[in-house]
Amino acid sequence: MCYRIALNFEDGITRFVDCKKGEKVLDAAYRKKINLPMDCSDGVCGTCKCRAESGTYDLGDEYIDDALTGDEAAEGLVLTCQMVPSSDCVLSVPTTSQACKTGQQSFAATVTRVQPHHDAAVVLELAVEDTAAAPVFLPGQYVNIDVPGSGAHRCYSFSSPPGENQLSFLIKKIADGLMSNWLAGAKPGDQLTLTGPMGSFYLREGDGPLLFLAGGTGLAPFLSMLEVLARAGSQRQVHLIYGVTRDLDLVLVDQLAAYADRLPNFTYDTVVADAASDHPRKGWVTQHMPEDMLATGKVEVYLCGPPPMVDAVRRYLDENAIQTASFHYEKFTPNEPQKAVA
């Protein structure tokens, strides 16, 4: 029996290690050639201190208070040279992946489907043939996809759940965009190289109410999270607000309707900004916030979309002094415009 330990490094890279029952995390990482920070490996120096973001574990009983105080342990800090997991865990490692002599992992995937949604977005589906190479990631994380023939890559959040050989992505069509242009001619059988997973935007375990705020194709990571919640039979209260510019940008709403059937406490609203739209909810996401839900101060907020939308929501929460149990966001920051070649 093994527990899957996600190691989130400071540079945004995540690596997974399988920790055998009774094994210490430091040893499991070392087997995978990941040199987590350590000095003594005896629970004395504190060099291996990390933060456990989720999961259950035994802290070990052979470390001294100078290495990990009771307060630190209560806060979720752990010594990886002593910690023995008793479930899957997520650990934040306070250094870069490079410093731990690891880095990004690349894998190959084949295009199985390219489904355009008007001029708004494309659903890209890929298959990873080598089962052993299927990416492990946390729901909400993203991967870099190389744009064939360009030497460049673009970041995309998985919209499919972790642990599958079939991957999917929801990608905005950008006029004359590098990836957008490639996708316009993409067909089943095309090969792609992906590198990752990455990012600290992922669904944390817990049972508190969740508010998901998606701007445009920022819906992608929430589809992955919703699938994970649905498969786990989650009873959590989840409200999603999906805001877009035009009616045509509202894609995959049928999938949200299907989650409303599968998840007993899931509700969602769609919002369209275009003043000319007949949509029942117009304007910005911030004009349709669930005030009763937010008033409890217990909501865990996840926010993903283009930078102006993310900034507007953050401002709204600040200006209205809204307290949340936790707040996580991902900005779909575009790449710099291509410079003209002289």
Sheet of strand 14-20, all strands in order from the earlier edge strand to the far edge: 14-20, 2-9, 89-93, 49-54, 77-79
Size of site (CB under 6 A) for ligand FES:
13
State yes or no: residue 40 binds ligand FES (CB under 6 A). Answer: yes
C-alpha to C-alpha distance for 318 and 325, rounded to whole angstroms? 14
Return the range that interacts with ligand FES (CB under 6 A); candidates 38-46, 160-168, 259-267, 319-327: 38-46
State the binding partner of 170 from ligand FES, ligand FAD, none, CB within 5 to 8 A by kind: ligand FAD
State the binding partner of 149 from ligand FES, ligand FAD, none, CB within 5 to 8 A by kind: none
Concatenated DSSP letters for 95-144?
S-TGGGT----EEEEEEEEEEEETTTEEEEEEE---GGGPPP--TT-EEE
State the binding partner of 180 from ligand FAD, ligand FES, none, CB within 5 to 8 A by kind: ligand FAD
Site for ligand FAD, residues 227 to 256, rule: CB under 6 A: none
At 148 the three-state DSSP class reads coil
Q: Compute the CA torsion angle 51, 56, 59, 60 (nearest 10 deg).
A: -150
State yes or no: residue 222 binds ligand FAD (CB under 6 A). Answer: no
Confirm if 224 and 159 have CB atoms less than 8 A apart: yes
Size of site (CB under 6 A) for ligand FAD:
24
Return the range that interacts with ligand FES (CB under 6 A); candidates 6-14, 37-45, 241-249, 284-292: 37-45
C-alpha to C-alpha distance for 216 and 241, rounded to whole angstroms? 11
CB of 304 to ligand FAD, least distance (A): 8
State the binding partner of 40 from ligand FAD, ligand FES, none, CB within 5 to 8 A by kind: ligand FES
Amino acid in position 261: D
CB of 167 to ligand FAD, least distance (A): 12
Return the range that interacts with ligand FES (CB under 6 A); candidates 44-52, 144-152, 291-299, 333-341: 44-52
Q: 212 phi and psi, to 5 degrees? A: -105, 125
State yes or no: residue 216 binds ligand FES (CB under 6 A). Answer: no
Site for ligand FES, residues 67 to 126, rule: CB under 6 A: 67, 79, 81
Q: Compute the CA torsion angle 67, 68, 70, 71 (nearest 10 deg).
A: 120
Q: Quote the tokens at residue 76.
A: 């979720």
Question: What residues make contact with ligand FAD under the rule CB under 6 A?
Answer: 142, 154-157, 169-172, 174, 177-180, 199, 217, 220, 306, 330, 332-335, 337
Binding site for ligand FES (CB under 6 A): 38-41, 43-48, 67, 79, 81
